[in-house]
Amino acid sequence: MEQMPRAAVDPLVVGGVIGDVVDMFVPAADLSLHYGTKHLCNGMEINPHSAAQSPRLLITASVPVPTPNYYTLVMVDPDAPSPSEPTFREWLHWLVIDIPEGSDASEGKEVMEYMGPQPPTGIHRYVFVAFKQNSLMETVRRRPVERGQFNTRQFASENDLGLPAAALYFNSQKQPAGNKKH
């Protein structure tokens, strides 16, 4: 295996994203996320207040292609309601389809409105997974899409999305009342 793809998925293995949310994959796209001025890297700590609004999110293919690609973005919390008892695994926080490559996620079709992190207890992982679509989807095959007990692997299978093209996650925990930023 090449060093580059392995290095790109190592934080996902260490963070348990590969295993809990998705299977091992070779990255085929780059995922860039910004909450305000903060650029996200795997495993960063973000307080819930800073992530209350949807991020700027760009997906670009690792290797340019002549025809435009479209992507599906899934954001889940695999630790709901608590990391020690994730009975709601996975909690769907955001679902956007038909995101044009190189465009912000807001250019896609939002299937499930963005919901910022609201960890009730413990440190939660918030996972963004981008899947390359075979063509425009316009709608998802599984209706209705529910927030609770969402399954990223099952969703990808039902919509012929295959393995992820990219993934990124951050950690968040409930802020003590005196530590909230306004």
**Which pLDDT score, from 0 to 100, does residue 181 have?**
52
Q: What are 69-117's pLDDT values in tens digits?
A: 999 999 999 999 999 999 999 999 999 999 999 999 999 999 999 999 9
φ, ψ of residue 154 in degrees (nearest 5): -65, -45
**Which pLDDT score, from 0 to 100, does residue 44 have?**
96
**Which pLDDT score, from 0 to 100, does residue 141 have?**
80
In the chain the domains, ranked by start, together with CATH numbers, are: 3-174 (3.90.280.10)
- Cα distances (Å, whole numbers) of residue 19 to 25, 90, 120, 153: 11, 13, 23, 11
CB 135 within 8 A of CB 93: no
**pTM over the 0.75 mark:** yes
